[in-house]
Amino acid sequence: MALPEDAERLANSIMEIDKQNAIYFKLNSLQSPTMNWIGRVTGYSVRSYQEDEANITLWGIVGIGIYDSKDPKLAPREGWGTDNCQVVWNSGDWKLKDAGDGPWTPGITERAAEGFRDFLLVGAGQ
């Protein structure tokens, strides 16, 4: 999914964020069965496009937290947010070159949310 030369950097970035989240939630791993950690992309917006490169924003919802936690800061909660991604055409397919967090907006009820196009996973609805 990522360019070979960028895959390790992107994977290390994700693993560092996971490590920080595990520390925050006081867990050894986010893979703990007590942990709720799920994200769904619901829309996208193309910020720029050329024949072999595109910059897109993915918009979605993330649920994160510890099931049955008495601490409201650690209990599962949902939040809307964006990821900014740079993709390039490589070997007959789009490959991820870079990605990073965008703003935690717009909220689902904000007018700006209407600017995102519907997102459908490949194979969904079949």
pLDDT tens profile 8-34: 999 999 899 999 999 999 999 889 999
pLDDT tens profile 51-104: 999 999 999 999 999 999 999 999 999 999 999 999 999 999 999 999 999 998
- Tally Cβ neighbours within 10 Å of residue 114: 8
Could you tell me where the beta strands, DSSP code E, fall in 3-123?
Answer: 35-50, 53-66, 77-90, 93-101, 117-118
- pLDDT for position 71: 96
- pLDDT for position 102: 92
pTM of the model as a whole: 0.81
Name the token pair of 121. Answer: 């996973």
